[in-house]
Structure 1
């Protein structure tokens, strides 16, 4: 685009998407008289999943607005907590977010996860078909129009990723209710029902078990339980403080 210019100012939280040279004030962007404002914003690096509102000369406009020369645009960040109307809150995570997926499942959050790279078109199609919020650090994936909904994961650290998703969407938490391997629901199980998955020491030391309804995997309070308990307590403690 090399036509008349508009001025665009991004909310501070969106600075991560904008080149350093554009963070200190309004950005000048050329328009062509045809492209929508949503297209212009994305061409500058900001996925629309992260945009909470667009104001042109102080008035709200949709992403389909076609900007005219000289307009001043304010791009607001998504308000938190973010509501996702139209379906139960469920997530889909790409291949790079396996740890986050397992931690969400530990907390009882419905989090589907692709352990192999099936490609952006397939991920977007699954998001639409199952009405799942796509969580990703891939800006290109989040720009795909067929997505049902999406959100950028800002951090590369699992603890911060989890905190961010919980703060942004405030999903209901039911710790210890989902299989961290496949996302299925857990049910109580007797030692006899899961005996084929237990080694001798486990059989002697533990009496309380659960089993996944989908994949059959057995669960008990083993050697890593304290680490998992710390993740749960951190999430529930943060929810209490926020509330």
Structure 2
């Protein structure tokens, strides 16, 4: 495509109306957030003299947690920048892997998943990631917990990501748990510790002697396995070698995905 002054499409610069508008170039990764009828790279918005760039971008349907660097004429600007007529704004997606501020002592981000992502939560726990999940928590409560515990709120609800009080969230791409997990691993590239968390409640497993739990085991399990772990939160017992091929493949695939993202 040919371009006119300041990088805008060539068909726009001759019209005096264009000079009264803000021109936004949306990176391909963010086009999915735009309505289908407006899903194109170049967007044009009339300035109102008061709206910030963050407000303008969100008015297009793009949640700010999904937005990375923004530039005007090559200079970096933030969401609080007030765009003027004739500005050409380039809006990029969050860089991958995304860097998340970590609490002291933590090696990986902690997550909180909304009510629609239960399977994804269990898969993250399988990989040793701290993934809180409740199947009955409303949106305001999710924001409160995410902020209080400095967890990245994972959701496919764009409206939830636009809540001003939320410290950090991420839109989960993909409709299947497989695709969702791959998207999250590519986005955050967290270090993995498979088989160290309870997939039921998110507790960290602790080694436990066979003699301490054998009365709770089926006879076949007692005869076959010797190494056990127990969740101190819910009491669930796990044993080495009890993993199905399906779970083993999830771990292998996740390990490859994280390795290729780093």
| TM-score normalised to structure 2 length | 0.85
Take 1:86 and 1:188, find their aligned partners in 2: how far apart are those partners?
Answer: 27
Partner of 1:5: 21
Of residues 150, 153, 157, the one that matches 1:131 is 150
Alpha-carbon distance in 1 for matches of 2:139, 2:49: 30
> Following superposition of structure 1 onto structure 2, how do residues 204-215 of structure 1 map, counting pairs within 5 Å?
204-215=223-234
TM-superposed CA distance for 1:9, in Å, is: 1.4
Query: CA-to-partner distance for each residue in 1:46-68, whole Å, 9 max, x for gaps?
Result: 01111001112322111001111
Looking at structure 2, the residues matched to 202 and 84 of structure 1 have their Cα atoms a distance apart, in angstroms, of 41
- 1:71 corresponds to 2:87: yes
1:197 positional shift: 3.9
Matched, 1:102 2:122: yes
> How many Å separate the matches in 1 of 2:258 and 2:80?
36
Distance 1:42 1:33 in 2: 16
Please point out which of 100, 108, 111 is paired with 2:131.
111
Output the CA distance in 1 between the equivalents of 2:86 and 2:256: 48
Q: Deviation at 1:23?
A: 2.7
Q: Which residue of 2 aligns with 1:14?
A: 30
**Could you tell me how far 1:225 is from its partner in structure 2?**
2.3
Q: What CA deviation, in whole Å up to 9, does each residue of 1:112-150 have, x standing for no partner?
A: 11221x221111111110001111101111111221211
- The 3 A distance-change label for structure 1 pair 158 and 33 is same
Larger radius of gyration: 2
The answer as to 2:173 corresponding to 1:154 is: yes
C-alpha deviation, 1:242, in angstroms = 4.1
User: Shift in Å at residue 168 of structure 1?
Assistant: 0.8
Contact 2:189 2:261 in 1 (8 A): no
Q: Deviations over 1:18-45 (max 9, x none)?
A: 1233233311123321111101111111
Structure 1, unmatched stretches of 5+, are: none
> Is residue 45 from structure 1 mapped to residue 65 from structure 2 by the alignment?
no
1:59 counterpart = 2:75: yes
Which residue does 1:170 correspond to in 2? 189
User: How many residues align structurally?
Assistant: 239
Aligned: 1:238 with 2:254: no
Tell me the distance in 2 between the aligned counterparts of 1:146 and 1:180.
29
Counterpart-to-counterpart distance in 1, 2:213 and 2:50: 63
Task: For residue 223 of structure 1, report the CA deviation from its aligned partner.
Answer: 6.2
Task: Quote how far apart the aligned CAs of 1:155 are.
Answer: 0.7
Structure 1 length as normaliser, TM-score? 0.91
SS of 1:73's equivalent in the other structure is strand
Mapping 1:23-34, distance limit 5 Å: 23-34=39-50
